[in-house]
């Protein structure tokens, strides 16, 4: 009987190793303790490799692994995996995204309790200093406090339910879910972020992306209650660390519970110097149960992928460029970008995704639909969505999707149109590719354009009256935002401006633009 070779490159729980050792058609190679240079020789015959953060799946690794079909990242993050390199070689990259869910939820509750009762400091005073001073440690109760949960996914909704068991009032903000997902569980749902900022305790559970990086900064903290408590056991950088430090030091923030940092290891992070912070060293997945689940799921996924049966939690779609015409790939990329742009500009729960095409590209509608779904869901799901699970995730969220062929009458050789319907309305965007793979957006909601899908984009819908361009330019200039390009399209119902700027735009500036007399709506996206 022929066997598949699975190489374990990093340390995982022994239960995962036992699965590999006892599977008859698997040739199991344990290489966690060898030098990473020597590992390159070991993986040359591997069908599948299991890695963690200690092994970089980079160009050297991929070049050495001649027979590799798949690589399993035994954990959630995969920053050390060269996704593009894997895809070009037809190697499927997978992770194990849900095995640490309960561990992360319980760590969040631990930080919440520690901040309320200051357990670490009371512990140190008695155990290390041998001082018995009960009067130093009057804390607060969770009972009756209002908890704001940002992000209501696998972890966020479980934190909310546990907080309810403490008889807390819980409100969640997640514009990318139907409100019933929260209200059916007895959790208050809000679309007004100010409701979160008014809570006694705030915890964040979102992916880390362009929208959520520095989601909580000086402006947001200034609107919070004095003595607020902040928790972050999700991703470093969701709270701006400088703003966090300044407001912890001033006392505006009473306590913070932090498990994740922008730069790790965080042994020299200034937050650690403060007396009103409880910190842990990125321990979200560090329970024995979690490590066991990660290892066993990684082993089972490795076996399935070695046999070619299934590729659970695949993060990429292998692109065999020899099997598709060269003109297809830029259209696939453009379609994902357009869906991503449309979802960013709306920021509400998606109801349906439609992709229509004209020209030869219509023969690849199924692939275009998959990439559009990934692009649209990436805004709310971040790294959790991939090219394999996109359809399943869409169905799980109650999102319908369809495709259609359009008669060839637009004047373009090929054109793709993405329509995303949300709770707020319908947004349609069309694009084409010119010679030498030049991608262009040619229509946004019926307004004609010629825009490269790239950069920081402000989309301003306004009444077609004199002086708007001047007001917009002055508002941006007053806020030190430089305009790189300004495209204006006029229609019977007003005008739409797409403004490319050199720097990221914050919510405060968008509000100023929205308050201009001629403004109808303002949206912002980053590609």
- Catalytically active residues, by annotation: 235, 264, 282
Instruction: Quote the CA–CA distance of 116 and 254 in Å, as a whole number.
Output: 9
What the block records as the tokens of 31 is 């290489």
> Are the CB atoms for 498 and 449 separated by under 8 Å?
yes
Give the dihedral of Cα atoms 393, 396, 398, 403; nearest 10 deg: 40
Q: Could you give the CA distance from residue 92 to residue 107 in angstroms, rounded to a whole number?
A: 32
Tokens found for residue 226 = 């004095």
Query: Which residues touch 7 (CB under 8 Å, ≥6 apart)?
Result: 29, 31, 42, 43, 46, 48, 49, 50
Q: Evaluate whether 108 touches 233 at the Cβ level (below 8 Å).
A: yes
For Cα atoms 334, 337, 340, give the angle at the middle one, nearest 5 degrees.
150
Contact between 47 and 303 under an 8 Å Cβ cutoff? The reply is no
DSSP, residue by residue, 234-300: S-TTSB-HHHHHHHHHHTSEEEEEE---SSSS-TT-GGGG-TTEEE-SS-TT-SHHHHHHHHHHHHH
| Alpha carbon 478 to its chain's center | 32
3-state SS assignment for residue 459: strand
Burial pattern 15-29, b for ≥16 Cβ within 10 A else e, equals ebbebbeebeebbbb
Rounded CA-CA distance 297/301 in Å is 6
Residue 49's DSSP bridge partners are: 7, 71
**What are the start-end ranges of the H helices in 128-239?**
156-165, 180-183, 193-197, 218-222
**Beta-bridge partners for 401:** 353
Q: How far is CA 206 from CA 156, 191, 278, 507, in A?
A: 8, 15, 21, 18
Query: Per-residue DSSP letters for 347-367?
Result: -S-EEEEEEEEESGGGGGHHH
- Residue pair 412/340 in contact (Cβ under 8 Å)? The answer is no
């Amino acid at each position: 009987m022929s066997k598949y070779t699975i190489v374990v490159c990093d340390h995982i729980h022994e239960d995962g190793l036992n699965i590999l050792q006892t599977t008859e058609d698997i040739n199991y190679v344990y290489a966690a303790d060898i030098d990473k240079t020597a590992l390159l020789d070991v993986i040359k015959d591997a069908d599948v490799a299991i890695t963690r953060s200690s092994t970089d799946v980079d160009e050297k690794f991929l070049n050495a692994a001649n027979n590799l079909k798949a690589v399993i990242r035994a954990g959630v993050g995969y920053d050390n995996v060269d996704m593009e390199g894997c895809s070009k070689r037809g190697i499927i990259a997978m992770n194990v995204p849900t095995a640490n869910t309960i561990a992360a939820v319980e760590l969040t509750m631990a930080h919440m309790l520690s901040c309320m009762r200051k357990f670490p400091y009371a512990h140190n005073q008695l155990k290390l200093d041998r001082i018995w001073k009960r009067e130093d440690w009057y804390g607060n109760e969770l009972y009756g406090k209002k908890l704001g949960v940002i992000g209501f996914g696998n972890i966020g909704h479980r934190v909310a339910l546990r907080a309810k068991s403490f008889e807390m009032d819980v409100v969640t903000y997640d514009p990318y879910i139907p409100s019933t997902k929260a209200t059916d569980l007895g959790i208050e749902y809000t679309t007004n972020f100010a409701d979160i900022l008014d809570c006694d305790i705030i915890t964040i559970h979102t992916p880390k992306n362009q929208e959520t990086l520095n989601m909580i900064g000086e402006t947001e903290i200034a609107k919070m209650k004095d003595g607020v408590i902040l928790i972050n056991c999700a991703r470093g950088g969701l709270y701006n660390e400088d703003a966090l430090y300044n407001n912890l030091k001033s006392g505006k923030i009473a306590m913070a519970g932090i498990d994740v940092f922008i730069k790790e290891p965080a042994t020299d992070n200034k937050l650690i110097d403060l007396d009103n912070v409880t910190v842990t060293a990125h321990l979200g997945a560090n329970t024995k149960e979690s490590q066991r689940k990660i290892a066993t799921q990684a082993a089972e996924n490795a076996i399935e992928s070695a046999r070619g049966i299934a590729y659970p939690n695949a993060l990429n779609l292998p692109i065999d460029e020899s099997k598709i015409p060269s003109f297809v790939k830029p259209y696939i990329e453009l379609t994902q970008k357009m869906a991503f742009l449309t979802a960013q500009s709306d920021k509400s729960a998606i109801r349906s995704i439609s992709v229509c095409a004209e020209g030869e590209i219509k023969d690849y509608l199924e692939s275009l639909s998959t990439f559009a779904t990934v692009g649209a869901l990436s805004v709310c799901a971040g790294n959790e969505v991939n090219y394999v699970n996109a359809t399943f995730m869409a169905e799980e969220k109650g999102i319908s999707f369809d495709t259609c062929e359009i008669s060839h009458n637009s004047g373009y050789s090929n054109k793709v149109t993405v329509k995303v319907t949300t709770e707020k309305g319908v947004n349609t965007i069309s694009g084409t590719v010119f010679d030498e793979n030049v991608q262009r957006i040619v229509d946004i909601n019926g307004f004609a354009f010629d825009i490269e899908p790239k950069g920081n984009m402000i989309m301003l819908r306004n009444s077609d009256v004199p002086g708007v361009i001047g007001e917009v330019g002055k508002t941006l200039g007053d806020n030190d935002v430089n305009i790189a390009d300004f495209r204006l399209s006029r229609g019977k119902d007003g005008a739409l401006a797409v403004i490319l700027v050199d720097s990221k735009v914050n919510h405060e500036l968008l509000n100023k633009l929205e308050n201009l007399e001629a403004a109808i709506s303002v949206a912002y996206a980053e590609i």
